[in-house]
């Protein structure tokens, strides 16, 4: 009888029993059929989340995907929903430790993970809250949360400047959702972590093995949260002498990869796009994801040493099981090679209708001023493309494209 957009959070399901040293059931407590608690403890959270997810699916007669957040989890919990790191504290050390915790959970196969933004216990100072929102915006599960004793901490309670910075961090996440959704599809089908330790992407680079203050979001973005109070600079490792890295916001190519000292202000955290990748984004963020369905896309094409790049976009209705039962999805591949950007189908079985278009393409590291640019659809229709080129940054912007997300097309740069 509940609202169809009411979902469930399983909390305290370790299970919590506050009488006793370990705050859970005694190991030798006897369960039905003579099983001791030590044998079933780790299954408690798993089975509660499973039952909850199955109950939500039954509530919608199998039409809607469930959402279940759980505090206790076990191997296989990734099938049933999201997890978070539990009761953290509003301190810089807890922001710092959240990164290796989330990387560990991700590597165990549970990609939909996050930490309470701002810390669950205590009252974060404005700078800490801002830095935590900036970090959380580039992590799989993202929410602010605190206990009943904490002061109110909505983003608009810390002064207009801090509100604006937090708003921008959230906006960055919302426009990045097409990329994140595609990463979750890869997690679902190929068990690739959404949030990755550097060495997963660079297994041959031993200098990445001990790094736990930065991470890859998919294979394309490197994120370095700022976790020191009043920081004026951070030391960022951009791995691979043969790699090219670009500032994600300014599109500027970073000179000489390796360990770089990057100046920082309170306004944002360092994020870099890896050369050789294509990232799909929405052109703007509005009040909710429901309202963003028909908003157009833009592609950020970051060229590698061979002036090439590839990327993907997975798309479905976002809430039903029609992607599974009726193959209602789109799975597209974008390839930039020899000055041609092409869109092609990755999985021919997928059929999903959308009016969405790719409106804009930004090519990073494009070496020369083009003379003209044309876009060609599969049926042979050709049109000239409006473009601007910045010689200083080697950034080529293609505007007003109106190319269908679900169709094959090419953009030829001459």
Known catalytic residues?
11, 14, 87
For 297-353, the DSSP string reads EEEEEE--TTS-EEEEEEE--SSBSHHHHS---EEEEEEEETTEEEEEES-TT----
Instruction: Give the DSSP H or E segment for 215.
Output: strand 215-217
Helical ranges in 75-207 per DSSP H:
92-107, 126-136, 160-190, 198-201
- In whole angstroms, what is the distance from residue 37 CA to residue 32 CA? 10
8 A C-beta contact, residue 239 and residue 202: yes
Using alpha carbons only, give the angle 384, 386, 387 rounded to the nearest 5 degrees.
125
8 A C-beta contact, residue 227 and residue 95: yes
- In whole angstroms, what is the distance from residue 102 CA to residue 113 CA? 6
Look at residues 57, 115, 116, 48 and name the one whose alpha carbon lies nearest to residue 77.
Answer: 48
Rounded to a whole number of angstroms, the distance between the first and last alpha carbons of the chain is 60
**Would you call 398 helix, strand, or coil by DSSP?**
strand
Residue appearing with tokens 């919608």: 60
Neighbouring C-alpha atoms within 13 Å toward the C-beta of 81: 27
Give yes or no for a cis peptide into 15 (omega within 30° of 0). Answer: yes
- In whole angstroms, what is the distance from residue 20 CA to residue 364 CA? 58
8 A C-beta contact, residue 84 and residue 113: yes
8 A C-beta contact, residue 302 and residue 364: yes
- Chain centre distance of CA 1: 33
Rg (CA), the chain: 23
């Amino acid at each position: 009888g509940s609202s169809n957009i009411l979902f469930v959070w399983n909390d305290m399901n370790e299970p919590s029993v506050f009488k006793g040293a370990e705050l859970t059931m005694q190991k030798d407590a006897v369960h039905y059929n003579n099983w001791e608690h030590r044998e079933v403890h780790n299954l408690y959270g798993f089975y509660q989340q499973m039952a909850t997810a199955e109950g939500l699916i039954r509530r919608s007669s199998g039409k809607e995907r469930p959402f279940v957040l759980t505090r206790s989890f076990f191997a296989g919990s990734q099938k049933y929903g999201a997890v978070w790191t539990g009761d953290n504290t509003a301190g810089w050390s807890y922001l710092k430790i959240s990164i290796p915790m989330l990387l560990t959970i991700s590597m165990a196969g549970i990609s939909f993970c996050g930490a309470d933004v701002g810390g669950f216990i205590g009252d974060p100072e404005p700078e800490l809250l801002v830095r935590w929102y900036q970090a959380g915006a580039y992590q799989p599960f993202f929410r602010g949360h605190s206990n009943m004793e904490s002061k109110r901490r909505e983003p608009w309670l810390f002064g207009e400047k801090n509100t604006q910075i937090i708003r921008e961090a959230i906006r960055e996440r919302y426009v990045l959702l097409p990329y994140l959704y595609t990463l979750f599809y890869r997690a679902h089908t190929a068990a690739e972590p959404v949030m990755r330790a550097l060495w997963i992407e660079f297994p041959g680079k031993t200098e990445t093995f001990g790094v736990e203050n930065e991470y890859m979001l998919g294979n394309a973005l490197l994120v370095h949260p700022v976790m020191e109070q009043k920081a004026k600079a951070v030391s960022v490792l951009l791995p691979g002498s043969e790699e090219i890295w670009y500032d994600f916001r300014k599109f500027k190519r970073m000179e000489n990869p390796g360990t770089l000292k990057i100046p920082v202000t309170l306004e944002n955290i360092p994020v870099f796009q890896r050369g050789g990748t294509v990232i799909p984004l929405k052109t703007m963020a509005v009040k909710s994801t429901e309202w963003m369905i028909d908003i157009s896309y833009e592609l950020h094409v970051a060229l590698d040493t061979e002036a090439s790049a590839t990327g993907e976009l997975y798309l479905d209705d976002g809430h039903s099981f029609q992607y599974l039962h009726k193959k209602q999805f789109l799975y597209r591949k974008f390839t930039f090679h020899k000055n041609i950007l092409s869109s092609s189908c990755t999985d021919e079985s997928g059929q999903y209708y959308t009016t969405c278009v790719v409106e804009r393409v930004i090519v990073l590291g494009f070496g020369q001023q083009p003379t003209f640019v044309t876009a060609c659809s599969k049926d042979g229709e050709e049109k000239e493309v409006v473009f601007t080129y910045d010689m200083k940054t080697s950034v080529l912007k293609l505007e007003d494209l109106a190319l269908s997300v679900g169709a094959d097309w090419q953009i030829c740069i001459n």
